[in-house]
Structure 1
């Protein structure tokens, strides 16, 4: 609401003809831009946010480029769409395999909610509401574009292999329309390795007694981590006619470490 109030005040100053409309109108503009992303001048007039009166669209057209530019700049600043260091996309944040992914979902939840249910947490985190909390696929009602890739759904899997001395395995990530080769092309800031029919990146390991992650050039998803150690990596594989881009944390995964990477699991345990 603070952002909407700031926008409304500037709208009233730049164009007195807008002064008769309340903060809800400013909020509708903000919501429209959060959904439409980088659309600028033409989308400001054509945005389909709730409560946008037709005469306001006409007024914005008549005011011309300078007012459009001022309003657009402010909206982009308030929605985080313009920044010297651009906000991470869902794909970029997923590739980190840490809590930044759940912060990115929180930041873009207004855009995501029309196609998939999202639960907002208490620490600037949000996550997808999957039918099963541990295993399952949430198919989006329509594809979501991000980083020039087509997201079809969200995937979760948890496996407990402690009885076999192999630890626990937690997987989370996206189901994509594009092939693994196209995904790697779009995420070309990452370095990929291949093992059989899968690709790996961002492989890290935490050895017993150590506090920091370090690079793990020997990581292979099908081989259990050394006893007492924890591995984390980004996995890319073909799944039928689709592609899975998943994070994994596996091995000896105590709750206090798991929750730093998967804050959704910690939040779901809140009373």
Structure 2
């Protein structure tokens, strides 16, 4: 029979392990605010703890949260198995969205749906300088990369405005808050402009694997469309049978 002392030890170990797991998940979400590849590396380093909340695709040195279709209008989110309680905020879903505006550049958004208001989030992160971007939208940590001055790297760029595309040969990234309703908010990283593959994969490395998955799906779909259908197969057989019957009648 397990004695009282053993139960206390086991209980303490369980509490310590739970606290460590929560700390690891908090560290993963903390890294998200860098809006770079560190978030995806942290997911890989903490797969076991984060898997309590979400499926994860593990690829090489990173892991990422899968969504069905990043380019769809309504199938680009993943609902967590249970909400993530993060520094007083409640994260319910993950979002990964791609928009190609062609004339205005490419836009990538990834992050969380939070069951808190914009003001709740801003109050939790007072260290950020939140700037109005549009009605019901705020941004912070806006940076720009000039493809023609790559030696300068990412530079602070407080001149991002809604409806104004990044200048040619430049890429912008920022943290983005958008109101869904009074008690729900998008908390996202955004990457937009003239985005080369090198920039995209260095910041948003899951896209390399998602792009390959999409290419494989298109290839498989095209292969199926090229294969003859059952009707196509049956038609020549029926024709041959009809010709045989005619010959016999003659």
Q: How far apart, CA to CA, are the structure 1 residues paired with 2:9 and 2:186?
A: 48
Asked whether 1:208 is paired with 2:147, we answer yes
Residue 47 of structure 2 corresponds to 109
The answer as to 2:110 corresponding to 1:169 is: no
Change in Cα spacing, 1:57 to 1:245, as seen in structure 2 (3 Å) is: farther
- Aligned counterparts of 1:62 and 1:195: Cα–Cα separation in 2: 53
Cα-to-partner distance string for 1:200-258 (whole Å, 9 max, x where unaligned): 01100012312200010101243200011110111001013410011111000011110
- In structure 2, the CA distance between the partners of 1:167 and 1:153, relative to structure 1 (3 Å rule), is same
Conserved in 2, the CA contact under 8 Å of 1:236 and 1:243?
yes
Distance, in Å, in 2 between the alignment partners of 1:97 and 1:255 is 16
Quick check: 1:154–1:175 contact (8 Å CA) kept in 2? yes
Once the two structures are superposed, residues 16-65 of structure 1 have per-residue CA deviations (whole angstroms, 9 ceiling, x without a partner) of xxxxxxxxxxxxxxxxxxxxxxxxxxxxxxxxxxxxxx8498526379xx
Alignment-derived partner of residue 25 in structure 1: none
CA-CA distance at 1:80 after TM superposition: 8.5
Report deviation, 1:167: 1.1
Answer yes or no: is 1:154 the counterpart of 2:91.
Answer: no
- 1:99 corresponds in structure 2 to 37
Question: Deviation at 1:172?
Answer: 0.6
Instruction: Provide the C-alpha distance between the structure 2 equivalents of 1:226 and 1:94, rounded to a whole number of angstroms.
Output: 26
How many Å apart are 1:146 and its aligned residue? 1.4
Aligned counterpart, 1:234: 175
Mapped partners of 2:9, 2:57: distance in 1: 41
Residue 59 of structure 1 corresponds to: 6
The Cα shift of 1:173 comes to: 0.6
Can you give the 5+ residue segments of structure 1 that lack an aligned partner in the other structure?
1-53
What is the TM-score when the length of structure 1 is the normalising length?
Answer: 0.66
Offset, 1:94? 1.6
Which ranges of structure 2 fall in alignment gaps of 5 or more residues? 217-250
Q: Distance in 1 between matches of 2:29 and 2:144?
A: 22
- Give the counterpart of 2:160 among 215, 219, 223: 219
RMSD (Å), alpha carbons: 3.2
Return closer, same or farther for 1:56/1:145 CA change in 2, 3 Å cut-off.
Answer: farther
